Amino acid sequence: LLASLEQKSEHPLASAIIAHAETQKLSLHSVTKFQSIKGKGVEGYINGTRYLAGNMQLARDLHISFDAQQFEQETQLGRTPVLFMNEQQLLGAVFIADAIKPNAKEAIAKLHKLGVKVVMLTGDDRRTANAIAKEVGIDEVVAEALTEDKLKKIRALQETGIHVAMAG
């Protein structure tokens, strides 16, 4: 059901969920009334039931209970939670970890030698982003950011006279 809902999403986490479902040869259901919930997740109907998938803030907004402590422990390990729920309860969760590219730490170190400050701008959970940044040596983290928040940060850096390059 989660992969069915995520098949209409353009988010990279959705791609990971769908790819896993494909390796398991799961049959996906048809989704109607699909909507993205900006910065929080997605929702849609499968066989007349409303399902939602997203971050912890989405669950809080819906007053869906979950073990926040357990989820926060996972994020400190660099894993991003995706909660799957209906309107009443949490049905399940997956934790997705980006594989850090083998040369990432070395690339960041080379940028530092050139005098470049490296900033991570991400919509991911703050604890997850900080764990990854610490592992590879990123200088500053702006997490749980929407697209417009990222743009504001880039503009703020540019206004101080800093030359900004972005990879995404």
| Predicted confidence (pLDDT) per residue in 50-97, tens digit | 999 999 999 999 999 999 999 988 888 888 899 999 999 999 999 998
Q: Could you give the count of Cα atoms lying within 13 Å of 9 in the half-sphere of its Cβ?
A: 26
Q: How many helices (H) and strands (E) does the chain have?
A: 7, 7
Tell me if 100 sits within 8 A of 128, measured CB to CB: no
Low-confidence ranges of the chain (pLDDT < 70): 168
3-state secondary structure of 57: helix
3-state secondary structure of 126: helix
Dump strand ranges (E) for the chain: 32-37, 41-46, 49-54, 79-86, 90-97, 119-121, 140-142
> Rounded CA gap, 58 and 31, in Å?
20
Please give the pLDDT value at position 90. Answer: 97
pTM: 0.75
Q: What is the enclosing helix (H) or strand (E) of 69?
A: helix 68-76
Please give the pLDDT value at position 162. Answer: 86
- Cβ-based neighbour number of residue 161 at 10 Å: 6
Please give the pLDDT value at position 168. Answer: 67
> Rounded CA gap, 150 and 156, in Å?
10
Please give the pLDDT value at position 147. Answer: 84
